[in-house]
Structure 1
Amino acid sequence: MSDTLLIRGGTVVNADRETRADVLCVGGQIAAVGLDLDAPAGATVVDAGGQYVLPGGIDPHTHMQLPFMGTVTRDDFYSGTAAALAGGTTTILDFVIPDPKQPLMDAYRTWRGWAEKAASDYSFHVAITWWDESVHADMGTLVREEGVNSFKHFMAYKNAIMCDDETLVRSFRRALELGAMPTVHAENGELVFLLQQEMKAQGVLGPEGHPLSRPPAVEAEAAQRAIAIADVLNVPIYVVHVSCAESAEAIARARARGQRVFGEVLAGHLVVDDSVYRHPDFAFAAAHVMSPPFREKTHQEALWRGLQAGHLHTTATDHCTFCAQQKAAGLFDFSKIPNGTGGVEERLAVLWDAGVNTGRLTPSEFVAITSANAAKLFNLYPRKGLVAPGADADLVVWDPAASKTLSVATQHSLGDFNIFEGRTVTGAPSHTLSQGRVVFAQGDLRAERGAGRYLKRPPFGPQFTALGKKAALHAPTSVLR
């Protein structure tokens, strides 16, 4: 099979511009971008006439093969990344989540082993779920030797993986020393636990109790606390799955003060609202149980405006699939429903349809929030998130006229539910390229087990780790301003 491919006649879209150009890929990398490029002998030619050529999507928040709440997600690293490729996402950032007291390196090696079957490129954030000197040392090993430059902190899930403030402070400070980015799941776990008990004491046992026990104020408090800790320590911080106006506003306020705070939004939170939890069918309502929960519709506009204003930077899915049988563990107690939904395959189409087609986003802004910004924030740019010579040939030929109805019946994920079920979108990938190979073409998925590569992400430079407000004004170019 030839390792040379020419994408001809499309409009190349990067985060800063769009231009008519052909794209020549050789040996898994982009060799040239320009008009009227010649196809070398034996090259595969993809006709992109009337279509866009985009950098492959980067989903910075997935959970493949995750052991959680007494069960394991349906999608493993092969099925999950195959589904991602079908939707135009060519890189995922997944999470190593050690058990409390488990050495970080032990957990990391376990996840690396699970991920060897991945069909797309992948990398890892590592969660800090406890603290002692071994965690301090392992963070250094992960950054310096394994290419991990981000650490996750769960402020929720009391009596499981929740970080207390001491752990946050120690881990944030260590991340600063190492040039790594702390990330947080912002929900006040103590309040959630209390509200869950109160809901159940009042006889609220069904899925409708899930959003009632996790109101926006619970998320906003945790976001503000994490932002304040990061501000005192002068370390950048990344807030995952921002779901409500209050959290988005907290990030905007901090950024207006000059603090380096970055926000992530899930595709689901932009288009699905909390009415799903009041559906009379338990299986339907439980299928939407994730944390933070889906919110009232009024929060969606705040999230869109955050993306438009640049206060929120990336879009993800938190892809974490459990089937109806697994969700039924919480049939009589909503707090026992495994938290998680899918979406890694649908994210780009949903965001294009709800964002670009409505005028909320330009095509370049779409590229920024679906790939380029994540690549910059986690030090994968310009290898990823850019259509330019020298970048990896991870590309999507995007047909803006294609129409499809999203459904569990046609998805490639092994989950048995689709939170976007029945939604008709306009705009979809006609071809996906990973490492210069066509892995999806006009509905034909050609994902290859084990073809994905582990991506080492170097730490950020000395400007990142220098203490003091003056130093913070001179961040490395890899970190978004």
Structure 2
Amino acid sequence: MKTLVKNGTVVTSTNEFAADILIEDEKISMIAQNIDIEADTVIDAAGKYVLPGGVDNHSHFEALNTDGVTTNAGYDTTWVALKGGTTTIVDFCTNEPGMNMMESLEYRLNVRSKGKLAPDMAIHACCTDYRGEETLDEIEELVKAGVPSMKLFLAYKPTPLYMDDYKLLNCLKKAGEVGMTMMVHAENPDVLDYERNSMAEKGCLDPKYHYMTRPPYGEAEAVARAIRFADAMDCPLCVVHVSCEEAAKVIQQARAEGSLVIGETCPHYLVLDKHKMDDPDFDQAARWVCSPPLRDEEDREYLWKCLNHDWISIVGSDNSSIPLYQKHWGEGDFRKIPNGCPGAGDRLNALWTYGVEKGKITRQKLVDIYATQPAKLNGIFPQKGTIDIGTDGDLVIFDPEYKGTVTVETNPTGVEYNVFEGCEQIGRADTVLLRGEVVVENGEYLDKPVFGKFVPGKPYGLAYELKK
């Protein structure tokens, strides 16, 4: 099968040029001007930008809470990522109840996501049941199975998610020996307990107290500790969902000193304000409860600055599409509200509208942080994350002239709400190709049989390149 994209302006992380693109048998076979070859499908991209398909470094579909209960929308909603211009998600594989990490990986690939996966998918392991030597041995097995990254939680004490310093050091040491990149959710659990319990004792239990009890200093301390430990164990680190200036400055300083650390932030930290949670209507306020919490304007501006200077290198969605009925589990006590915001379909739109259109980032920087760097981190570059001969035919034909307002109807999330509801939107993914197949047309997902597949990653990814 041949697909020809004509007359567009190709944008990569390093270049921008006019060209046609020919895709044959799922791979890009030619990039040139005025390609004159008969194709099965011809797409006119005149007046539009042709971007690499997005790679979302951070998604949670069918995630399990500490009780083993599924709290997020399922893989049958992954099509929302395609609609928003993401052709590869990198999903987190937590321990299934009673299973180790390798068993959980097999279950996620062959049971949970089978027959439901719309985009392609790479995997981060997520250790939520530390078993000593068994877990350390599994780290090497995971790398061989195409999973070269793993996430550890420094928060959520005393649940099974929590990773104390001893366990953290052991995992970092082993990961560094086999080329795995370790990822951390960095918040100090004792700071959280102190702040949250202090508020609860005063009867302060509304959703707004969520952001008041997860202070920037708790995030920054955990980031600094994780970097120090990773340096000592000679293991590259990715700090996910950085939300505030204080934590970002820790990463900035560490990189200046030679630490092998990559920072990731998310669209909601770049666009939305913590005072969304001040709404007296629980149904409204609870939907913005995520961890770390939304912050202030000063934090948002500093995060944009960090992206421009490569102090933070990746923007992932941290998609957690939690239904409102589950958010209501915490009505009357903010500490029980399931944490997370949907966003798999809004990453590209938010970065273009609030980054490119406002002059905060260039088009090439957008491609870098939404596609190229995430692909490199996960060991799937150049198969994913760029436009070149031999790469997968994952393309987004982006219409910069589109103007609209975000609603859950125009920008579906898999649940009843969209946290960007009411936000301005400039530009959209008009046509999306996954391995040469058109899956989005005129901004709408084409409801056809899904054919997403697992994309194994190679070890020694982006963070290891900092050694060079």
Instruction: Give the TM-score taking structure 2 as reference length.
Output: 0.96
Report how far residue 115 of structure 1 moved: 1.8
Report how far residue 474 of structure 1 moved: 4.5
Alignment of 1:46-61 (within 5 A): 46-61=43-58
Please identify, of 63-72 and 208-217, the stretch whose mean Cα deviation from structure 2 is larger.
Answer: 63-72
Cα distance in 2 between the residues matched to 1:368 and 1:308? 10
Q: Give the match for residue 120 of structure 2.
A: 121
Report how far residue 43 of structure 1 moved: 2.1
Matched, 1:24 2:28: no
Cα distance in 1 between the residues matched to 2:113 and 2:399? 31
Q: Give the match for residue 8 of structure 1.
A: 6
Cα distance in 2 between the residues matched to 1:110 and 1:200? 39
Report how many residues are paired.
462
Alignment of 1:174-253 (within 5 A): 174-253=174-253
Please identify, of 415-424 and 129-138, the stretch whose mean Cα deviation from structure 2 is larger.
Answer: 129-138
Cα distance in 2 between the residues matched to 1:61 and 1:33? 30
Q: Give the match for residue 90 of structure 2.
A: 93
Change (3 A) 1:425 1:411: closer
Matched, 1:106 2:115: no
Alignment of 1:327-476 (within 5 A): 327-460=327-460, 464=464, 474-475=467-468
Report how far residue 65 of structure 1 moved: 0.9
Which digits, 9 at most, give the CA deviation of each residue in 1:362-399, with x for residues without a partner?
11111001000111122111111111110000100011
Cα distance in 2 between the residues matched to 1:473 and 1:280? 47
- 8 Å CA contact retained: 2:28, 2:390: yes
Cα distance in 1 between the residues matched to 2:48 and 2:6? 10
- 8 Å CA contact retained: 2:428, 2:443: no
Please identify, of 167-176 and 133-142, the stretch whose mean Cα deviation from structure 2 is larger.
Answer: 133-142
- 8 Å CA contact retained: 1:119, 1:447: no
Cα distance in 2 between the residues matched to 1:310 and 1:225? 21
- Which of these residues, 56, 73, 76, is aligned with residue 74 of structure 2? 76
Cα distance in 2 between the residues matched to 1:37 and 1:447? 30
Structure 1: gaps (5+ residues): 465-471, 476-481
Instruction: Give the TM-score taking structure 1 as reference length.
Output: 0.93
Matched, 1:300 2:297: no
Cα distance in 2 between the residues matched to 1:291 and 1:252? 21
Cα distance in 2 between the residues matched to 1:473 and 1:377? 11
The one-letter code sitting in structure 2 at the alignment partner of 1:378 is N
Change (3 A) 1:99 1:159: farther
Cα distance in 1 between the residues matched to 2:378 and 2:72? 27
Cα distance in 2 between the residues matched to 1:33 and 1:17? 13
Report how far residue 411 of structure 1 moved: 2.8
Q: Give the match for residue 147 of structure 2.
A: 148
Misfit runs of 4+, over 4 Å: 99-102, 447-450
* 3-state secondary structure, aligned to 1:67: coil
Which digits, 9 at most, give the CA deviation of each residue in 1:192-241, with x for residues without a partner?
12322111101111101111111111100100000100111222110000
Q: Give the match for residue 63 of structure 2.
A: 66
* 3-state secondary structure, aligned to 2:28: strand
Q: Give the match for residue 468 of structure 1.
A: none
Report how far residue 243 of structure 1 moved: 0.2
Q: Give the match for residue 33 of structure 1.
A: 31
Change (3 A) 1:99 1:28: closer
* 3-state secondary structure, aligned to 2:320: coil
Cα distance in 1 between the residues matched to 2:96 and 2:344? 25
Q: Give the match for residue 274 of structure 1.
A: 274
Q: Give the match for residue 479 of structure 1.
A: none
Cα distance in 2 between the residues matched to 1:170 and 1:258? 22
Q: Give the match for residue 159 of structure 1.
A: 158
Report how far residue 168 of structure 1 moved: 0.7
Which digits, 9 at most, give the CA deviation of each residue in 1:98-140, with x for residues without a partner?
2687421222222212122201100111112324111111111
- 8 Å CA contact retained: 1:4, 1:24: yes
The one-letter code sitting in structure 2 at the alignment partner of 1:178 is V
Report how far residue 33 of structure 1 moved: 0.6
Aligned-residue CA RMSD in angstroms? 1.6
Change (3 A) 1:52 1:137: same
Which digits, 9 at most, give the CA deviation of each residue in 1:260-308, with x for residues without a partner?
2110010000010110111111111100001000011210011000001
Please identify, of 113-122 and 70-79, the stretch whose mean Cα deviation from structure 2 is larger.
Answer: 70-79
Cα distance in 1 between the residues matched to 2:207 and 2:467? 47
Q: Give the match for residue 478 of structure 1.
A: none
- 8 Å CA contact retained: 1:74, 1:414: no
Cα distance in 2 between the residues matched to 1:189 and 1:215? 11
Cα distance in 1 between the residues matched to 2:253 and 2:7? 44
Please identify, of 14-23 and 316-325, the stretch whose mean Cα deviation from structure 2 is larger.
Answer: 316-325
Cα distance in 1 between the residues matched to 2:71 and 2:443? 25
Report how far residue 473 of structure 1 moved: 6.7
Cα distance in 2 between the residues matched to 1:474 and 1:418? 40
Please identify, of 301-310 and 442-451, the stretch whose mean Cα deviation from structure 2 is larger.
Answer: 442-451
* 3-state secondary structure, aligned to 1:20: strand
Please identify, of 214-223 and 227-236, the stretch whose mean Cα deviation from structure 2 is larger.
Answer: 227-236
Report how far residue 69 of structure 1 moved: 5.3
* 3-state secondary structure, aligned to 1:8: strand
Which digits, 9 at most, give the CA deviation of each residue in 1:304-340, with x for residues without a partner?
0000111000101111111221111111110100111
* 3-state secondary structure, aligned to 2:60: coil
Cα distance in 1 between the residues matched to 2:97 and 2:437? 41
Report how far residue 445 of structure 1 moved: 1.1
